[in-house]
Structure 1
Amino acid sequence: MNGFSLKNNYPLTILCRSLGCRVNQEEINQIKKDLIKAGFLPFASQNFPFINKYPDIIILNTCVVTKKAERETRKEIRHLKRIFPQSFLLATGCAVEAQKKLGIKLPEADLFIGNQDKEKIPEILAQKPSFTKAAKGYPSFAPQTSPPGRDKFSPPIKQMDMSIRRWVKIQDGCNQFCTFCIVPYLRNQLKSKPVTQIIREIKKLEKEGILEINLCGINLSLFGQDLKPKTDLVELLKNILQKTNISRLSLSSLTPNLINKKLINLYTNDWRSGSKRLSFYFHIALQSGSKKILIKMNRPKTDLNKLKDLLQYIKQEIPQFNLRADIIVGFPDETENDFQETLHYIEEVKIAFAHIFRYSPRPGTIAYKMTKNNQWQEISEKIKKERSKKVSELVKKIRREEAEKLVGKKLNCLIIGKKKNYWRGLTENFWEVKITCPQSPPPGGPKRCRQENQRKLPKKIIPIQITSYQNEKLFGRYKNN
């Protein structure tokens, strides 16, 4: 087991956690996969009758993109140290880079590893098994039990259903230096995964039964710019559609400059052909609908009028197309007029879902320096909260309008799991659907209704009739005829 085994051939156990973005989650998944391949045992695995009371090693992939994320990172480190005091805690990721480069303070961990060495974690642990407290103390093994506080140890981020859906990281790094963003200071080395490698990975996942692939990266607009010969995201998508049989292909966050005629045509052609392998939604890193604010953010390439025309066109061609966006409110010097421009833009292009961020000053960034030097005016927290609420209310209104257009339609839905009395599905335009018994009991009454809700729906893509939209939830019904 490559030197990882304890005496009596018990393997070291690992607990891998991640905070922050999809890329972080995919990175920790890969680290975990590599460690398992090297002989480690996932902590609390149901496949083994005897495990350690504590994980021998905990690996935490951290985030520091906002003040809130930084607080959550500190809180999670303290939490892990408190409930697993005997474990060896290894912290990695952007917060570790920020501690080294920008001087932020993190609670004590047993080992800090920066982003550039993240992929070497299995190798580092293999070379120095004395890193682990477990390796020094040879802890006793006992039947599987929950350690103190385990019932309070909930996952820091919502997990994807890994049995049928999977993230594939295709790109790392950003050199755009938006004035609000700390990421280029922590991940500035551009690295695209070769197209042939991505195709191999997806084919392998297909064989494992994966139905949906979601391509993610730090900045997908930079994919392929460091490869020889250069390529881009649209060419990658064409290759995947031609060379794999993956049922559904989705994209993570897109910068506005990525949304061009080539991309739009690829989606509309997929729709018209009846293939419908591309998920019909975009998640756009829009940030603002004000040209003035976008220039201050160092995002001058965002042509709001051109983007609006393209988005309105694709919604016209594909009526069910769903738009999501990241929005920052309260950026320095944002006037009420600037904010109203953002609201108007959201309304015009019909953003139905939004991640709303109240501007958070990040050390080292230009916006942080400009406000510290009083060259830009900081917006009060009260105004930020008010603007955040207004965006949320507008998006909620648009979401209801868009949802009501879906009622009565039949959408291809990926069944991702079951709750107590309903199934969970994801439509081809990335709406989550509760698949339940209809409100009016069928012949046979409530008993028949319960039986239908307990039906074992297959974890595959099936047609679902959308029946209603209630309490911010889309409801649907499966008919197998």
Structure 2
Amino acid sequence: MSTWKFHLLTFGCKVNQYESQSLREAWQRQGGEECDDPAAADIVCVNSCAITAKGERDARAALLRLRRTAPQARLILTGCAAQLPGVLEPVRRRGEQQPQPTADCIIPQARKAQLLHALLPSLTDGGRQAPQAAANAAQTFPPFAIDGFRRARPVLKVQDGCEHRCTYCIVPLTRGRCRSREPQAVLDEARRLLRGGHAELMISGINLRQYGRDRPDYGDFWSLLTWLDRELAPEFAGKARLRISSLEPGQLDARGVDSLLSCRLVCPHLHISLQHASPQVLRRMGRGHYRAESLQEAVRALSAQWPVMGLGADIILGFPGETEADVDCLLDFVAATPFSYAHVFPYSARPGTAAAGFAGHIPPQEKQERARRVREAVARQQEVFRRAQLAQPDMLLAADVADGEGRQEGQAIRGVNEFYVPCRLVTPPAGLPLSGLVPVRPTGLDAAGLLVEPVGTP
């Protein structure tokens, strides 16, 4: 089989990172060789995101840049932005008489899995047809799978799609219906990755709350998690760990808390798709199925066995109709909740969603100002949490690089501890093994997070 070269550019969520890795492995099995320089590639693929308007703009800008950088390459667009009709429109650049197509081949998210099986140089312009509706996507879990990962902490994809239709969210239009992965396939992949030397797996999906909705025989997310833990813990407890990508407050009921506390491999860290704390805003968002306060109740329940835990959240500011009273409600909630970080976004209107047609849109400058205030409130909570980390006698570092991955002797090592706090080991001793979880202790703080040293260092 002749060798050909490809370049992958990935935007967006951890699920996209996982799918890019699956494409990478599939193409390498077909004789492809990955290159870092797109100008040297025969195939250039952009795996795009569309969760915000900025994500869509970034994909379009990347296509135009890559068209200039690698004019001889076949340029492929896939991912969520490729599911949107507007991305198909040709673009006229300054000085050009004719508009240029955004890509040679457009494979919408609904058909991305086709790229696993097609020998890339043989693809024709037939891929540039208008994207099919997500409703026509396959009803089974797309056949992505991985044997390794470019990063030290792999993503373990267990679910795809979402059927909830939050009023602000375009994901159901781009990812389609909920599809759950067969539990044995999840376990087999987890074992491959852990036995391959990875110390931490990020269990991810588009909406983990909906795991098993399409396949009741698979159980729900909590049954999957506890089964995985039970199967993996005898071999990997103390050597590796599982981290959950994102949950909703409503999942943290008594069963959810009990499930978390029963697991031996799960990190004491949760990332919550909170979005807001005001009941009025949550209802307008289509997220009236939970109370923000249920998160605080769950944290108190978890504290019996997790006296220290990392807690992150996604928060949206400036949703249509949001009032200053709603912002004050959110600020009070942040001040009363032990967040260790949060991702705070100004609301981004997405065509095709219900909220795009709502009355009461907030001016951009005001959205940014509200987001700034909430970020500052989160930063105060983060500072308290990180300073408290200095009192921990030890912790376990999952390094961002493994042994032998181009690390120079004495080079600082970055990673995260079990609480998802960024850590930096400034002067690692010679011969320090980085595969597995590295016992460290905190020595100080810098702007990025904790400074640590190996346990046992005098």
Class of the TM-score when normalised by the shorter of the 2 chains: 0.7 to 0.9
Deviation at 1:469, TM superposition (A): 2.1
Give 2:370's aligned amino acid: R
Give me the whole-angstrom Cα distance separating, in 2, the residues matched to 1:472 and 1:85.
Answer: 39
Give me the whole-angstrom Cα distance separating, in 1, the residues matched to 2:125 and 2:365.
Answer: 47
Give me the whole-angstrom Cα distance separating, in 1, the residues matched to 2:39 and 2:169.
Answer: 40
1:30 counterpart residue number? 22
Identity among equivalent positions (%) equals 27
Give 2:416's aligned amino acid: L
2:313 counterpart residue number? 325
Deviation at 1:381, TM superposition (A): 1.4
Q: Is residue 218 of structure 2 the alignment partner of residue 218 of structure 1?
A: no
2:417 counterpart residue number? 427
TM-score, with length taken from structure 2: 0.85
2:105 counterpart residue number? 111
1:95 counterpart residue number? 81
Q: Is residue 181 of structure 2 the alignment partner of residue 193 of structure 1?
A: yes
Give 2:415's aligned amino acid: G
Give me the whole-angstrom Cα distance separating, in 1, the residues matched to 2:48 and 2:241.
Answer: 29
Give 3-state SS (helix, strand or coil) of 1:433's partner.
strand
Report if aligned partners of 1:421, 1:453 keep a CA contact under 8 Å in 2.
no
2:400 counterpart residue number? 416
Of 339-348 and 460-469, more deviation after overlay is shown by 460-469
Task: Encode CA deviations 1:362-407: one digit per residue, 9 max, x unaligned.
Answer: 001101022xxxxx21111121111111111111111110111110
Give 3-state SS (helix, strand or coil) of 2:453's partner.
strand
Give 2:309's aligned amino acid: F
Give me the whole-angstrom Cα distance separating, in 2, the residues matched to 1:325 and 1:191.
Answer: 24
Give 2:109's aligned amino acid: N
Give 3-state SS (helix, strand or coil) of 2:166's partner.
coil
Give me the whole-angstrom Cα distance separating, in 1, the residues matched to 2:214 and 2:356.
Answer: 30
Report if aligned partners of 2:21, 2:150 keep a CA contact under 8 Å in 1.
no
Out of 41, 51, 58, which is 1:65 matched to? 51
Give me the whole-angstrom Cα distance separating, in 1, the residues matched to 2:304 and 2:376.
Answer: 24
2:61 counterpart residue number? 75
Report if aligned partners of 1:287, 1:328 keep a CA contact under 8 Å in 2.
yes
Task: Encode CA deviations 1:330-364: one digit per residue, 9 max, x unaligned.
Answer: 00111000001111111212222111110111001
Q: Is residue 249 of structure 2 the alignment partner of residue 259 of structure 1?
A: no
Out of 386, 391, 396, which is 2:374 matched to? 391
Give 3-state SS (helix, strand or coil) of 2:287's partner.
coil
Q: Is residue 329 of structure 2 the alignment partner of residue 353 of structure 1?
A: no
Task: Encode CA deviations 1:221-263: one digit per residue, 9 max, x unaligned.
Answer: 1111111414111111111112223411011121222222222
2:266 counterpart residue number? 278
Give me the whole-angstrom Cα distance separating, in 1, the residues matched to 2:417 and 2:336.
Answer: 24
Give me the whole-angstrom Cα distance separating, in 2, the residues matched to 1:299 and 1:104.
Answer: 34
> Which structure has the greater CA radius of gyration?
1
Give me the whole-angstrom Cα distance separating, in 2, the residues matched to 1:188 and 1:82.
Answer: 33
Q: Is residue 408 of structure 2 the alignment partner of residue 465 of structure 1?
A: no
Give me the whole-angstrom Cα distance separating, in 2, the residues matched to 1:414 and 1:127.
Answer: 38
Task: Encode CA deviations 1:130-184: one digit per residue, 9 max, x unaligned.
Answer: 669xxxxxxxxxxxxxxxxxxxxxxxxxxx9736421111111111110111111
2:11 counterpart residue number? 19
Structure-2 change in CA distance of 1:105 and 1:325 (3 Å): farther
Deviation at 1:23, TM superposition (A): 0.8
Report if aligned partners of 1:91, 1:109 keep a CA contact under 8 Å in 2.
yes
Task: Encode CA deviations 1:427-464: one digit per residue, 9 max, x unaligned.
Answer: 11111111235xxxxxxxxxxxxxx5666442321221
Unaligned runs of 5+ in 2: 92-100, 127-147, 402-406
Aligned residues: 415
* Within-5 A mapping of 1:119-198: 119-125=113-119, 128-129=122-123, 162=150, 164-198=152-186
Report if aligned partners of 1:15, 1:58 keep a CA contact under 8 Å in 2.
yes
Report if aligned partners of 2:45, 2:77 keep a CA contact under 8 Å in 1.
yes
Give me the whole-angstrom Cα distance separating, in 1, the residues matched to 2:433 and 2:370.
Answer: 42
Structure-2 change in CA distance of 1:255 and 1:288 (3 Å): same
Give me the whole-angstrom Cα distance separating, in 2, the residues matched to 1:115 and 1:475.
Answer: 41
Give 3-state SS (helix, strand or coil) of 2:270's partner.
strand
* Within-5 A mapping of 1:284-303: 284-303=272-291
Give 2:315's aligned amino acid: I
Report if aligned partners of 1:416, 1:459 keep a CA contact under 8 Å in 2.
no
Structure-2 change in CA distance of 1:127 and 1:53 (3 Å): closer
Give 3-state SS (helix, strand or coil) of 1:253's partner.
coil
Deviation at 1:214, TM superposition (A): 0.8
Give me the whole-angstrom Cα distance separating, in 2, the residues matched to 1:104 and 1:232.
Answer: 41
Give 3-state SS (helix, strand or coil) of 1:471's partner.
coil
Structure-2 change in CA distance of 1:265 and 1:104 (3 Å): farther
Task: Encode CA deviations 1:37-83: one digit per residue, 9 max, x unaligned.
Answer: 122111259xxxxxx96200011111111111111111111111111
1:306 counterpart residue number? 294
2:95 counterpart residue number? none
Give 3-state SS (helix, strand or coil) of 2:319's partner.
coil
Give me the whole-angstrom Cα distance separating, in 1, the residues matched to 2:120 and 2:41.
Answer: 17
Deviation at 1:105, TM superposition (A): 7.2
Structure-2 change in CA distance of 1:386 and 1:13 (3 Å): same
Give 1:435's aligned amino acid: L
Give 3-state SS (helix, strand or coil) of 2:115's partner.
helix
Structure-2 change in CA distance of 1:105 and 1:469 (3 Å): farther
Report if aligned partners of 1:125, 1:131 keep a CA contact under 8 Å in 2.
no
Give 2:107's aligned amino acid: I
Deviation at 1:476, TM superposition (A): 1.4
Give 3-state SS (helix, strand or coil) of 1:176's partner.
coil
